Structure 1
């Protein structure tokens, strides 16, 4: 190879090296700029969120009346607070509530100030520290059926019980509620075998109302909000147990109706699950009474013949839907039953519950404590 050719090759190599150095410098500069941009954006985002969580005016002594209607969504509450100048950003409020898994906000007319930060406002909305006193409080006990709840709602608002019950079972009304609560009210409640679609879904609690005559929808919305709050807390456990909300509330209603003050709900639940595991009928008396639409102290053998999908003496598995509302203890028992070998139980006259493993043992206990009951 001649000297000239070598010089040409050497020059080209030097040129390539020089170009590579320039490219590396450009890439380095761009990378640094991008990194700085990311830092500025993330830092700016953090500062924005941090600022939005702080009071609008920390020195303000103004108190504003803010009305939070029954059934308000987190988005709606945030927009209301922002429009009243109580918070800086409805979006940041919404994301904060979701991130902190807050909920259970209570309706009412609140007295809030721009000097309050978001955590304090959330706390007030949860505890119901309102300006106005409740016009009345409606207490729904555990183990109540829809017809009984309709009577309580009617009495509290001077509505006719028949009108309340008709509203609670109106298919168009039910569908509007399903659209509003798709996570708890599913197509399962519209099964043709289900007696009342909302049976078991109106959570037992005390509900304050801030006007004398709230509508049926307003009252039901308050109850469904509470049901959603309670049930959503157990969503992971429900998935693990492969239970839909409808199945969970159905099982919980059976536990609720069978339980006495002295009863261990988790052991009662274990009996039901043990029976279902081997295809044995649940044979629980409250389902028979529900099928008949009766309240009786004694269930007779003739009652067990009622032809109904709710009759667990004639049908295996869970009934088509809940037979009453259930409290937290019964819901938890349905998700975390004891591990037992029991297949039978009976309640004595003094409220004790006796659990047994075989029919022979059960019949012996029955002869001792409940002879002649059926």
Structure 2
């Protein structure tokens, strides 16, 4: 009898503990549930708040305010500094949102000057105004630098449009002290790569092709040249991730872009030309591009002859594998993008016909057949 009572007590004790544990489990589940619910509310609230904030910042500051505000954009201003100026003037709500809007939409080519802007303008309208250079003051003169030009050709254009002579422009472009200053001012763009002994001209390829307005009758030569370098810096800043993915420095990217620019015609697909260069480099084949030979020779002419290919130079891609030491000309945006995003092809050869068409081949035999059909042979 006594044993039965003890068993009964033990059973009651176990049931009591079981009930207590069940109650504890219920309390723990409630607490955990409340914590998760709080986290969801906080995260969701933050996300919604962030979305609403960004969405608001993308809209005009005041849709009904059409009163013009004078906004001065200094020469060499980057997207961040432009955004800060616009925010300070009440033209955009948030400079950071403006910066990421510009980068997300791959906008570039902003021009310095004094602008008439209003708080009612959309971000797209503001960006277009800054790109088209609709300014209050009339430019004293403009310098237009086309794509695919070498420094000596660019110096001639600057000399024609500005108060400076070609020789003093070229002297400035080769001034070691000034180049060191540029390195400090544009550390992401100007590096020790431009000082290598094989480099013919340190800033070859670094003066971006665009139209540059100037609002003084005689701006300093430093101002003129830095405006073009700043534009290159601004453009390449958009492609930092792509450069890292391709393991390119800005110098290497400008070098490959210049080869594509010099080989391309109006009808050419730069993506395919780029793919040829990539395919040849992957196979350890020399690039064999004629413009590098002409650059090595220091000549501007329509075509090369067999004797030209014998020139001893690190720029001669018939003799040296891989990229040349540096750019051979300036390159436009389409060539820069092609250098970063080549098409996926099996082409190893291409040739440009006199009508501007470009023909691609996978094998040397196929290339030679097209060469015989579309191109007159190089002179002996």
The two structures share one fold, judged by TM-score above 0.5: yes
Instruction: Please list the CA deviations of residues 317-341 of structure 1 after superposition, one character each: whole Å capped at 9, or x if unmatched.
Output: 4432222223456557764497546
- More divergent stretch after superposition (183-192 vs 352-361): 352-361
Alignment of 1:159-178 (within 5 A): 159-178=164-183
- Contact 1:270–1:342, Cα closer than 8 Å, also in 2: no
1:220 aligns with 2:232: no
3-state SS of the aligned residue for 1:50? helix
Aligned-pair CA distance for 1:138? 0.8
- Contact 2:279–2:346, Cα closer than 8 Å, also in 1: no
Q: Which residue of 2 aligns with 1:123?
A: 128
Q: Which residue of 1 aligns with 2:205?
A: 200
After superposition, the Cα gap between the structure-2 partners of 1:337 and 1:229, relative to the gap in structure 1 and judged at 3 Å, is farther
- More divergent stretch after superposition (176-185 vs 270-279): 270-279
Question: Partners in 2 of 1:15 and 1:266 — Cα distance?
Answer: 72
Task: Quote the RMSD (CA, aligned, Å).
Answer: 4.2
Alignment of 1:101-116 (within 5 A): 101-116=106-121
Give the one of 38, 43, 56 matched to 1:38: 43
- More divergent stretch after superposition (319-328 vs 296-305): 296-305
- Contact 1:283–1:312, Cα closer than 8 Å, also in 2: yes
1:83 aligns with 2:88: yes
Aligned-pair CA distance for 1:116? 2.5
Q: Which residue of 2 aligns with 1:188?
A: 193
3-state SS of the aligned residue for 1:62? coil
Question: Partners in 2 of 1:159 and 1:245 — Cα distance?
Answer: 29
Point out where structure 2 has 5 or more consecutive residues left out of the alignment: 1-5
Aligned-pair CA distance for 1:139? 1.4
- Contact 2:151–2:329, Cα closer than 8 Å, also in 1: yes
- More divergent stretch after superposition (151-160 vs 60-69): 151-160
How many corresponding residue pairs? 370
Instruction: Please list the CA deviations of residues 264-310 of structure 1 after superposition, one character each: whole Å capped at 9, or x if unmatched.
Output: 87787777677767766556554444334344678677765544323
Aligned-pair CA distance for 1:129? 2.9
After superposition, the Cα gap between the structure-2 partners of 1:240 and 1:16, relative to the gap in structure 1 and judged at 3 Å, is closer
3-state SS of the aligned residue for 1:137? strand
Aligned-pair CA distance for 1:90? 2.0
3-state SS of the aligned residue for 2:93? coil
What is the TM-score normalised by the length of structure 2? 0.75
Aligned-pair CA distance for 1:81? 1.1
Question: Partners in 1 of 2:274 and 2:42 — Cα distance?
Answer: 58
Question: Partners in 2 of 1:232 and 1:253 — Cα distance?
Answer: 18
Point out where structure 1 has 5 or more consecutive residues left out of the alignment: none
Give the one of 15, 24, 42 matched to 1:19: 24
Question: Partners in 1 of 2:208 and 2:215 — Cα distance?
Answer: 19
3-state SS of the aligned residue for 2:66? coil
Question: Partners in 2 of 1:312 and 1:251 — Cα distance?
Answer: 12
3-state SS of the aligned residue for 1:155? helix
Question: Partners in 2 of 1:37 and 1:353 — Cα distance?
Answer: 59
After superposition, the Cα gap between the structure-2 partners of 1:336 and 1:236, relative to the gap in structure 1 and judged at 3 Å, is farther
After superposition, the Cα gap between the structure-2 partners of 1:177 and 1:267, relative to the gap in structure 1 and judged at 3 Å, is same
Instruction: Please list the CA deviations of residues 13-63 of structure 1 after superposition, one character each: whole Å capped at 9, or x if unmatched.
Output: 333333333333333333333333333333332332233333333332321
Alignment of 1:29-68 (within 5 A): 29-68=34-73
Aligned-pair CA distance for 1:200? 1.9
Question: Partners in 1 of 2:279 and 2:183 — Cα distance?
Answer: 33
Question: Partners in 2 of 1:103 and 1:188 — Cα distance?
Answer: 25
